[in-house]
Amino acid sequence: MSNNVSKGGASEPPKSIGVLTSGGDAPGMNACIAAIAHSAERRGAAVRGIFGGFAGLMEGNSIPIGAELSGLARRGGTFLGTSRNGDLEGELQSVGMAEAMKRCSVDGLIVLGGAGSLAAAARVAHEGVPIIGVPCTIDNDVPGSGFSLGFDSAVNKAVRTADEILDTAESLSNRVFMIETLGGTTGHIAVAAAYAVGADAVFVHEAPLDVDAAARKIKAKMDAGATHGLVVLCEGLGTENIARRLESVTGRRVRITVLGHAQRGGSPTYLDRTLGREFGEASVEWIMSGATDVMAVWRDGEVVPAALSEVAASVRKIDLRKYEAVNSG
């Protein structure tokens, strides 16, 4: 294990591990939960699934789970459900971490969630609880990890949608197509999808919007004989207004496809199923060896540990090279 792994003060590994999913759901979470249950069972530890995230932990809402969950790996989302963190600090003071763990009959935690949930996990670790974090968010905005669980599935859904739209565009010509992805205030999905499908432009929160420049680029291409234009953008940027401006400058009709929450559902891809299993197995290995305040991350083709404090210390930036490659010209 790397130097940024901290050891808990427990004299023996946890006998019962609680697993909870917090924040939003993401394809691959069920695969990770199943891997945790199976790996812990092989090591002689019990696992309890905690319903409803940190709120469920405080309420003692948990059940025993085991290797029988293996069939869940193909399903999207999380059967445990999630919740926003709410007033976690207040609940910790009101209930107390020791009491919450007692209510759920666990003495260690593995938390699956996005940047906010993992920052909450880091706060819980300061209460002396053995805890491991797993980055799970389609937004892919968890610092320190090249991939978060669910991102690959979400991007692949955007890519498939673009491919299907472009099939139509070849016959239904002289139009500009816009695809709005999820992502919150981060553009990782939009940039990755736009780069993969060869879009004419991508708009994200992290960079200034230059709709006119994109429109002029698309107009020039279509004036020269191209059958269509394609724009990918992140949600929350004013899609309708951007579409009207594109129509005005290009002189072409614009058609919008909003992916919405369909990106969160469906069967996880090969990569997300594999990551889910590797994240889960590594998390059990580490917590059983006495590690705590650790996050499982994907770096250079393998799962390695990193300090949970990394989540609160930085912001994961978009891939500027891909962003500029899409918008250049």
By annotation, the residues acting in catalysis are 139
Alpha carbon distance 177, 163 (integer Å) = 12
User: Which of 212, 213, 222, 217 is closest to 252 using CA atoms?
Assistant: 222
Backbone φ, ψ for residue 296 (5° rounding): -80, 125
Cβ atoms < 10 Å from Cβ of 258: 13
Do residues 147 and 314 make contact, with C-beta atoms less than 8 angstroms apart?
no
Alpha carbon distance 87, 110 (integer Å) = 20
Alpha helices in 49-112 (DSSP H): 53-59, 88-95, 97-104
User: Which of 29, 216, 18 is closest to 113 using CA atoms?
Assistant: 29
Q: Which residue has the tokens 């992805």?
A: 181
Alpha carbon distance 162, 170 (integer Å) = 12
Q: Reduce the DSSP state of residue 146 to 3 states and report it.
A: coil
β-partners of residue 253 are: 175
- Quote the crossing angle between the two packed helices 88-95 and 97-104, to the nearest 10°: 80
β-partners of residue 19 are: 49, 110
Structure tokens at 58: 């405080």
Structure tokens at 143: 């610092």
Cβ atoms < 10 Å from Cβ of 99: 11
Residue 84 has what DSSP assignment?
Answer: -
